[in-house]
Structure 1
Amino acid sequence: MGLPENTENSDTMTPIVITVLLLSVAAVSPCSIHVHGTKKLEESVSVKIAKANANVKRGLNLTHGDIMGHMGGGEGILRNALPCPSGGCKWPKTGNRVIIPYEISRAFTKQQRTTIEKALRDFSFGERTTCVRFVRKTETDINYLSFVSQTGCWSHLGQTGGRQLISLQRDRCVRKNIVQHQALHALGFHHEQVRSDRDDYVIINYKNIIQGAEHYFQIVPTNNLGTPYDYHSVMHFDAYAYSKNKQQTIIAKNKFITKFGRATEMSDNDYARVNRLYECCE
């Protein structure tokens, strides 16, 4: 759009001022904390994952909808973000970098492999960045992520050691936001709406949740790393996640927030938390 001809009028200056303000907000430090940071909206991560995981066998032991493995007792449940009792669920740091080897199954098409690689590259490339570097696995790597196309979208929580699977069912899960969502699980992060202080920010309508999915919304005693609650995190469920009656399962206590949990990529807070957990900015 062109500028209005009469720029002396204060009313016509408003769009220009707003544009400048928006540009200044967009220029964020990778170690800064901001509430917003997503681009456009589309079908939410939680909806996509729920659809993909509808046919996952119960024996696979998924908790919170898409996290593989046991999460009870004193092991694993504090992984968003750490400490773990043994300290072993945090990927090790080499110098100033967290190097995470990965491989991608040949079951994925070339285009799908590119989508996965680009989603991982965003952790270390662009205006927003972290000290995490996803690199191609070599023969000498013992601990690494292995992206496979099994049933559903799921990941383990934190580093488990050895070959660590992340499932991205190729006809349902190969999307940038899902890849980053599962990668963040592997780095040690839970869903946003189960963090320890979530009741200060959202209301969970258990009466609207599909029977058997109630535990997906169970609060976890997380370490929130001093960051604000982020409705726009790629780790947040949307308002109708796992609804049995098309009514909201999550309601924001802030009445001005009506759309959330629909990120198409990691938010500023997602980047900042990775940096804080892995001490990228120390």
Structure 2
Amino acid sequence: MDHRSVLTVLLLFQGLTQVSMAEDKQVEKDISTRILEANKRMSHLLMEGDVALPKTRNAMKCFTRRCKWPKSTSGLVEIPFKIEPVYKSFALRTIQDAMNAFHTQTCIRFVPYAGQTNYLIIQSNGGCWSDIGMQRGAQYVSIDISGCISEGVIQHELLHALGFYHEHTRSDRDKYVTINFQNIDRDNYKNFDKQDTNNLDTPYDYSSVMHYGRRAFAQGKDSIIPIPDASVPIGQRQGMSRIDIQRINKLYECRG
């Protein structure tokens, strides 16, 4: 092989490496970064970046019987849903895979809508967002086709619909993370308000799919720092943690 051929091969390899690194960088975005970036393009008024303002409650408080989805006589919690016909096959598979993780590890079952009074409508409506808990009637979960199609993001929004909050806003969070308000725009302070949560006797979970990453709403330096060990990873990329699943099973009294 002459020197020109060698140079051509090296340039090709360099180009492929750069493409691969760019793809890896895209994959490395944590769930909260994906959500907040997707929601920059939307006009809805949201709390904490992806929670729809309550229609019937003056705060985001859930964990009461009226905002939990009811359990059927079979012992399963069946949540009817419709999917708007805008998703292509890959997105539909990803949504189904995200739901299947609930089906295999909890008593939650997302079932096709068949005329039930309370149900979810999964739509592509300008971002990734949901209400907290069951709202009565038709309830929207936005999984936008641009930016929200990942199992972790979908599970995050479905957990909101089940009644779960962000981990970094739970009532005892100050024992586990420091919120660096000096690195956050004052208009975004409200996104770090602590909530009056029922923590279900479970430990604070840095690996929760509901925990935002250390750069959420940050200007410059990190906004969320784990304590006492600042190196603890937060803002994961995959999906529900073991403790996320444990909490679902506790809240909905799933058996075996």
When normalised by structure 1's length, the TM-score is: 0.77
Query: Which of 247, 250, 271 is the aligned partner of 2:224?
Result: 250
C-alpha separation between the residues in 1 aligned to 2:54 and 2:131?
9
The alignment partner of 1:165 has SS state of: strand
Contact 2:124 2:145 in 1 (8 A): yes
Instruction: Confirm or deny that 1:67 pairs with 2:51.
Output: yes
Residue 233 of structure 1 aligns with an amino acid whose one-letter code is S
Partner of 2:28: 42
Corresponding residue for residue 261 of structure 1: 235
What is the aligned length?
229
Cα distance between partner residues in 2 of 1:77 and 1:71: 10
Structure 1 moving runs of 4+ over 6 Å: none
Counterpart of 2:102 in structure 1 is 123
Q: Is the 8 A contact 1:156 1:166 kept in 2?
A: yes
Q: Secondary structure at the match of 2:81?
A: strand
* Matching residue of 1:78: 61
Secondary structure of 1:123 counterpart: helix
* 2:249 corresponds to 1:270: no
Which structure 2 residues correspond to residues 85-164 of structure 1 after superposition, within 5 A?
A: 87-95=65-73, 96-125=75-104, 129-138=105-114, 140-164=115-139
SS in 2 for 1:94: coil
Amino acid of the structure 1 residue aligned with 2:48: H
Output the aligned Cα RMSD: 1.7
Higher fraction of helix: 2
- What pairs up with 1:183-222 in 2 under 5 angstroms? 183-222=158-197
Give how far 1:281 is off: 2.8
Distance in 2 between residues matched to 1:210 and 1:71, nearest whole Å: 27
CA distance in 2, matches of 1:277, 1:43: 30
Q: Give CA deviations for 1:62-120 in whole Å, capped at 9, x if unaligned.
A: 11110002389x644322xx12xxx3211001121100011111111111011101101
> 2 CA distance for matches of 1:54 and 1:200?
31
Q: Structure 2: how far apart are the matches of 1:170 and 1:55?
A: 12
- TM-score, normalised on structure 2? 0.85
SS at match of 1:50: helix
Could you tell me whether the CA contact under 8 Å between 2:60 and 2:132 is conserved in 1?
A: no
Sort the Cα spacing of 1:204 and 1:256 in 2 relative to 1 into closer, same or farther, 3 A. closer
User: What 5-or-longer segments of structure 1 have no aligned partner?
Assistant: 1-40
| Secondary structure at the counterpart of residue 40 of structure 2 | helix
Deviation at residue 211 of structure 1 after TM alignment: 3.8
**Structure 2: segments with no counterpart, 5+ residues:** 1-26
Question: Partners in 2 of 1:172 and 1:223 — Cα distance?
Answer: 31
> CA offset at residue 50 of structure 1?
0.9
Q: 1:204 to 1:76 in 2, by over 3 A?
A: same
How far is 1:258 from its partner?
Answer: 3.0
**Hey, what's the Cα distance between the residues in 2 that align with 1:267 and 1:123?**
12
Kept in 1, the 8 Å contact 2:94–2:150? The answer is: yes
Aligned residue type for 2:60: I
**In 1, are the aligned partners of 2:54 and 2:131 still within 8 Å (CA)?**
no
Alignment of 1:176-187 (within 5 A): 176-187=151-162
Aligned to 2:24: none
Secondary structure of the 2:152 match is helix
CA contact (8 A) 2:69 2:162 kept: yes
Aligned counterpart in structure 1 of residue 41 of structure 2, from 40, 55, 61: 55
